[in-house]
Amino acid sequence: MSTVYDCNDPDGREAGLAAAASAVRSGGLVVLPTDTVYGVGADAFDPSAVAALLAAKGRGRDMPVPVLVGSWSTVDGLVMSVPRHARALIEAFWPGGLSIVLPQAPSLSWDLGETRGTVNLRMPLHPVALELLREVGPMAVSSANRSGHPPTTTAEQAREQLGDSVSVYLDGGPSGEPIASTIVDLTGGKPVVLREGAVKLDEISEVLGVEVEHPQ
């Protein structure tokens, strides 16, 4: 049985964050508000929990799960290195709607799906999400919807799609326009935008000082 917590109420937020942290640590799934759309998350280092997340969404391992972090410094322990372009984008757009793909640290014992040795990282601009991430560490988080269905902008919409597969729902109110994050791939020689969303191409090009590729 899942529980919904109203995070707009101080007592509900405190209880909800405690319940969510406990659920994550015990391998459960949590729905949380972000600055883009609602997400469903699990402990990034618990392969069984990540598999349950994929199953709840009806999603295959060929679509690996991104990782949300609660601080800039967390990234250093998750990737092989943080190149100059990555630092510039993090300083300009985090926390916010920009995801960065980098080669993961080879020592990490996680299984996010068929990542081909990379990891998709983002720091969300939402106080509830950040508080949970700073409590439990990096989380594997995907949009809180069944695969093929629209992204959800409220906890209630997420619950309608994911039901009791999720232990805790953190209700932070409507998320606003359902705009996905922009994804920039920095694993090759040149920055490549895999998906344009909340952050525009010209903004990225201006920060990096180079023309950014966007394959159609």
Please indicate whether residue 197 or residue 214 has the higher confidence score (pLDDT). Answer: 197
> Would 214 be classed as within a structural domain?
no
**206 CB contacts (<8 Å, ≥6 apart)?**
none
Q: Is pLDDT of 177 > 90?
A: no
Q: What is the pTM of this model?
A: 0.95
Three-class secondary structure of residue 50 per DSSP: helix
191 — pLDDT class (breaks 50, 70, 90): very high
Span 91-113, pLDDT tens digits: 999 999 999 999 999 998 899 99
How many Å from the N-terminal Cα to the C-terminal Cα in the chain? 43
CA–CA dist 172, 128 (Å, integer): 7
CA–CA dist 90, 95 (Å, integer): 8
Structure tokens at 207: 């920060």
CA–CA dist 19, 2 (Å, integer): 11
213 — pLDDT class (breaks 50, 70, 90): confident
**97 CB contacts (<8 Å, ≥6 apart)?**
35, 36, 122, 125, 179, 180, 181, 182, 197, 198, 199
The count of structural domains within the chain is 1
Domain range for 50: 3-208
> Would 78 be classed as within a structural domain?
yes
Residue found under tokens 């969303």: 197
> Would 53 be classed as within a structural domain?
yes
Instruction: Check which CATH number belongs to the domain holding 24 and give it.
Output: 3.90.870.10
Q: Locate the DSSP E strands across the chain.
A: 3-6, 30-32, 39-43, 67-68, 98-103, 118-122, 139-143, 168-171, 182-185, 192-195
CA–CA dist 179, 36 (Å, integer): 6
CA–CA dist 18, 9 (Å, integer): 14
Point out the least confidently predicted range of 28-32, 120-124, 176-180, 191-195: 176-180
214 — pLDDT class (breaks 50, 70, 90): confident
CA–CA dist 76, 45 (Å, integer): 16
> Would 216 be classed as within a structural domain?
no
Structure tokens at 100: 């960065």
98-103 vs 182-185, strand pairing mode = parallel
Span 55-89, pLDDT tens digits: 999 999 998 999 999 999 999 999 999 999 999 99
> What would the mean pLDDT of 17-36 be, rounded to a whole number?
97
Structure tokens at 113: 């799906």
Whole-number CA gyration radius for the chain: 16
216 — pLDDT class (breaks 50, 70, 90): low
